[in-house]
Chain A
Amino acid sequence: MVLCSSLLFTVSLATAPPPMEPTAPCPAPACVQADDDPADLLEDIMDEYQEANAELGQNYRSADEEQRKQILEVDLPKLSETYAQRVLKLTSAHPGTDVAWEGLSWIVSRARGAACQADALLQMFKDFSKDERIGDTCLTVARGPFTKSTVRALNKLIKDSPHKDVRGRATFALAMQYKGLEDQKGFIKQMSLVQKKFADVPYTRGTLGPVAEGAMFEVQRLQIGMVAPDIAGADLQGVDFKLSDYLGKVVVIDFWGNW
Chain B
Amino acid sequence: MYPHERSLVKRLAGEPFALIGVNSDKDLEALQDVLLEENITWRSFWNGPEGTSGPISTQWNVRGWPTIYILDHEGKIRFKGPRGEAMDEAVDQLLAEMKA
Contact = CB atoms under 8 A, between A and B. Distances in A.
Residue in A222, A234, A253, A259 with the greatest tally of chain B CB atoms within 10 Å: A253
A254 B90 CA distance: 14
A244 interface: yes
A250 B95 contact: yes
A228 B68 contact: no
Contacts of A241: 43, 45
Given A236-B31, A251-B17, A257-B66, 15 more contacts: A226-B76, A226-B77, A234-B46, A249-B73, A250-B17, A250-B91, A251-B75, A252-B69, A252-B70, A253-B70, A254-B20, A254-B66, A255-B65, A256-B23, A258-B23
B19 A254 contact: yes
| 9 nearest A-B residue pairs (beta carbon) | A214-B61, A218-B61, A255-B67, A257-B24, A233-B45, A253-B69, A251-B71, A249-B16, A250-B94
Nearest to A215: B61
Contact of B77 (A214, A225, A231): A225
B100 interface: no
B99 to A, nearest CB: 11
A54 B46 CA distance: 42
Interface string B46-77: 10000111011111111001111111111111
11 contacts: A217-B59, A222-B80, A223-B77, A236-B44, A247-B74, A249-B17, A251-B20, A252-B91, A254-B20, A255-B60, A255-B62
Contacts of A259: 25, 65
B43 A227 contact: no
Contacts of B19: 251-252, 254
Which of under 10, 10 to 19, 20 to 34, or 35 or more describes the interface residues of B? 35 or more
Contacts of B8: 252
A231 B75 CA distance: 12
Interface of B is mostly: mixed
Contacts of A234: 45-46
Contacts of A247: 73-75
Contacts of B57: 255
Given A228-B69, A250-B70, A256-B44, A236 B20 contact: no
A228 B74 CA distance: 9
A235 interface: yes
Interface of A is mostly: mixed
A184 to B, nearest CB: 15
Contacts of B65: 255-257, 259
A254 B68 contact: yes
A241 B17 CA distance: 17
B22 A254 contact: yes
A17 interface: no
A250 B60 contact: no
B16 A255 contact: no
A228 B23 contact: no
A222 B69 CA distance: 9
B31 A253 contact: no
A254 B21 contact: yes
A252 B6 CA distance: 13
A76 B24 CA distance: 35
B34 to A, nearest CB: 5
Nearest to B83: A254
